[in-house]
Amino acid sequence: MSTSLADRLIEALPWLDAMAEKMKALFTPLLGPEAPRMPRDLLYGTWFGHPLHPAVVTLPIGFWTSTLVFDLVEEERAADLMLGLGLLSSLPAAASGAAQWQDAAGDDKPRRLGALHAVLNTTAIGLNLGSWLARRNGARGAGIALSTLGLGVGGFSAWLGGDLTYAVGIGVDHAAFEQATTEWTDVLAESELKDATPTRVMAGEAPMMLMRRNAQISAISATCSHLGGPLDEGEIDGDSVTCPWHGSVFCYRDGRVEHGPATLPQRVYEVRVRDGRIELRTQ
């Protein structure tokens, strides 16, 4: 079986594991499981309903591409402005990328590929910062060369970022392709469902989490949208369930995300009890 360029790169660069360990140690105080929730949720994009990183990363790429265009037509002030805006916008792009990577670094490929992505992005930022300094000091030719090289490095890094999303599945809904039942489906005897105890059932091929509290039965997808953790093994607190893998918190009554790293809600199912049996179907 042929391997992708990204796979060949991370296999050829064994130092990426050590780099990833250093990154994780650096990020943990701010982004680890014991860090404050609010800044983490901000960087994840929990409030946005979508991972923040792919939205903000378009800014530095767009600004630095504009720098190249304005350099080509010799619009010096516009080129320098775009270069500076790219540097400013690279900060939230890097921070949101670090947050998204931090919880996915337990597996070899996302850990190594994310580390390489970060190294290349840092290199691109450094080259563009060097360009900005060179331009301010009158070395315009060197500045243009540095920013052009920085755009090339950043573009290649963005390609690797696409591989992290589309080949590895970082930032996608891990329950998106479950075959949700649209017909009422018998899943469990009502007498078997204990109060305040999450229970895993299968509706066809889709795993569900049932939860009874105060005589009300709720059902959501048991597969955490973040990275596929089993929500039925999570901790219950009031109307919330916490994923045991990375700590995402969902309301089990309506599936909404209360805290990240998840940004996408859980699918919610209708529930009815008929002849002593619990039946589900998708809303």
Mean pLDDT for all residues in the chain = 92
Q: What is the mean pLDDT of residues 105-128?
A: 91
Mean pLDDT of the 138-166 span = 94
Q: What is the mean pLDDT of residues 14-22?
A: 91
Confidence at residue 275, expressed as pLDDT on a 0 to 100 scale:
93
Q: Can you list the pairs that 19-25 forms with residues at least 24 positions away whose Cβ atoms lie under 8 Å? A: 19/115, 19/118, 19/119, 20/105, 20/111, 20/112, 20/114, 20/115, 23/98, 23/101, 23/105, 23/115, 23/118, 24/102, 24/105
C-beta of residue 210 within 8 angstroms of C-beta of residue 193: yes
Residue among 246, 239, 242 nearest 213 (CA): 239
pLDDT tens digits, residue range 61-103? 999 999 999 999 999 999 999 999 999 999 999 999 999 998 8
Residues 6+ apart with CB under 8 A from 205: 178, 179
Confidence tier at 140 by pLDDT (50, 70, 90): very high
3-state SS class at 58: helix
pLDDT above 70 as % of the chain: 99
Q: pLDDT of 32-63, one tens digit each?
A: 888 999 999 999 999 998 999 999 999 999 99
Question: What was the pLDDT predicted at 1?
Answer: 47
pLDDT of residue 2: 56
Q: Could you give the maximum distance between any two Cα atoms of the chain, in Å?
A: 83
Q: Residue holding tokens 């002593």? A: 276
Number of helices followed by number of strands (H, E) in the chain = 8, 10
Rounded distance, CA 228 to CA 131, Å? 42
Tokens standing for 101?
Answer: 């990577």
What confidence tens digit (pLDDT) does each residue in 173-215 have?
888 888 878 889 999 999 999 999 999 999 888 899 999 998 8
CA 152 → CA 11, 140, 171, 199, distances in Å? 23, 18, 24, 51
Asked if residue 56 lies in contact with residue 129, where contact means CB atoms within 8 angstroms, the answer is: no
Bridge pairing between strands 185-189 and 240-242 = unpaired
Specify the 3-state DSSP secondary structure of 108: helix
Closest CA to 265 of 233, 235, 240, 234: 240
CA distance 87 to 136: 15
